[in-house]
Structures are given as C-alpha cells and as structure tokens.
Structure 1
C-alpha cells in the first residue's frame, strides 16, 4: 500500500487529539462548517506552518508556545483528487458568507463519507496542496497513521 505524506502543526498540548477533528468542528474552516469534524493537513511542513500563520493574528501570537509537526501517512488509495472546485473557494476570510459554497462542499463530502481524504489546493499557495481528512470515515483508522513528530518553534519574524 503506497503512502502519501502530509503534515499537521499542533500545539503540544493538543498532540494527542490532533486527528480527531474536534478543533475544526468548534470553529469551522474554509472546507467545513461549525459542527463538522475534519482534520486539515498540508503537503509539506513548511506549508503547514504557513497555513497556521495566516490564521494567527499578531495579537494572538504566543512566541513561547510549543508546537509539534506531525507527519501523517495516508493510504494513497483513500485520497480523492478534487477536479472541480466550488465557486469562491479561495475567498478570504474563509468565514465570509460568500465562501459558504466551499463549506457546503466539504460538509457534503464529510457526511457522504466518499473517501478518507480530499486533496485540495491551498488557499494560501494554490499550486501547493492540503488534505482534508474525515475522521468519521470507516477506514480512517486503517488509512491514516501518525509518523514522526518534529518539535517546531514558530519564528517571531513571521509576525513582523
């Protein structure tokens, strides 16, 4: 079984729950509404850091916060490649009422349990990819595994 590598950045205190989707269900995101648990991961650790950066305003940045980069291994046969994106998927902020098509798209994919993972372009760098993971999918625990962990310190210069 061929594996695809992805990365998720999490605060150390959330390491154990990094794949349960609870955080995204509490706040919603570009591809999910509040109440819909999904896990966001990036194709590289650098993109994972950048995705986190665009969501943490300077006022909320905690320079001493400890983060861990979680390598995620995904069974490539369980990844759905999206060929047609909903209109307005890249609208910023993702919480804008105009970006609801992307959330509806993700919510429908999650509820239908069509695949364990969706491969989508990053809104930050559309030529790079993120993975939306569905922890409610029956094959999730078989198809998604944690790999190595890397301690990550977010450089304060990212917030200048």
Structure 2
C-alpha cells in the first residue's frame, strides 16, 4: 500500500514523528499521519494551515510504502459520535488513538478523514516493530492551488485588521 503525506520540503526526507498531539494521538505519542490519496493529504494540510499564511510554503508530497502484510486496526465511522470531526471532539478521538498506540499491536490505525467523508487517513505508530519496514519511495514537489493561497493570505490579512 502506498500512503501520502504532504509536509514542508525540509521534513520530507525522513519519517519524522514529532510527538505533537493530533486528532488521534496525545502529546508524546510518536505517530505519523498519512492519507490514502494526495487529495485528502492536501485537504488535511489546508484544514490545519488555512488562515495562518502557510499555504505558500515550500511543500513536498511523500509517497510512503507500507508492506501489504502489516497489521491494521480500523476505527469505523459508526463507532464515533456525529460531531467527531470537530476539534471539540478530540476528547473522544484522542483516547481511542492513544489506546491503539499504547497497545502497540498494529502498525497502522485506519481512521475516517474528517475533511472528506468516505475517505481515510492512516496513523503510523513509529514505535511498532514493523515501522522499520516502512519506507519513503518518493517525494515530489507540491504546490497548493494559487486560489487557496490567496484565500489563506486574505484570512491572515483580515485577522490582523483592528477591530472596531
């Protein structure tokens, strides 16, 4: 299986797990978020960067090879509350992902993509024994559509306007 991760070019050379908290992990849990396709990877980046002026950065799309025989644990959409995609629902999703991480029985956690219904993200546990079998098989430059960059810049400009 090939997964995709869009990141700043400087971070695209290694499988780096920073330990920052996310939807499916708590601070200190060394995971890497990937998407099943480039479009979902782009949407995830936009969801996190939009309005911060970051879409004009120097990005790369990593293609990450996952061996077909690795273990995958899946979170079904039916097991989640209706509002699970909201940031306020991290209190629900983080414990689920944290339990998977601590259990360490599966390399991957397959999770619904909050940015695109019917699509999936994968969380890689960098502490799992099979992590050494995961490899970057390619990186390509990635640029966000100029229309999105313009919206991003406008949101930054608006946020800096003095309130009346």
Q: 1:52 aligns with which of 34, 45, 53?
A: 45
Q: Is the 8 A contact 2:12 2:61 kept in 1?
A: no
Task: Give the match's secondary structure for 1:60.
Answer: coil
Whether 2:7 is the aligned partner of 1:10: answer yes
Offset of residue 82 of structure 1: 1.5
Whether 2:138 is the aligned partner of 1:148: answer yes
Q: Which residue of 2 aligns with 1:82?
A: 74
Count of paired positions = 148
The structure-2 alpha-carbon separation of the partners of 1:60 and 1:34, relative to structure 1 and needing over 3 Å to count, comes to: farther
Instruction: Measure the CA separation in 2 of the matches of 1:129 and 1:137.
Output: 21
Instruction: Measure the CA separation in 1 of the matches of 2:142 and 2:76.
Output: 34
Offset of residue 61 of structure 1: 2.4
Offset of residue 71 of structure 1: 0.2
Unmatched segments (≥5 aa) in structure 2: 152-164
Instruction: Measure the CA separation in 2 of the matches of 1:41 and 1:33.
Output: 17
Offset of residue 148 of structure 1: 1.4
Unmatched segments (≥5 aa) in structure 1: none
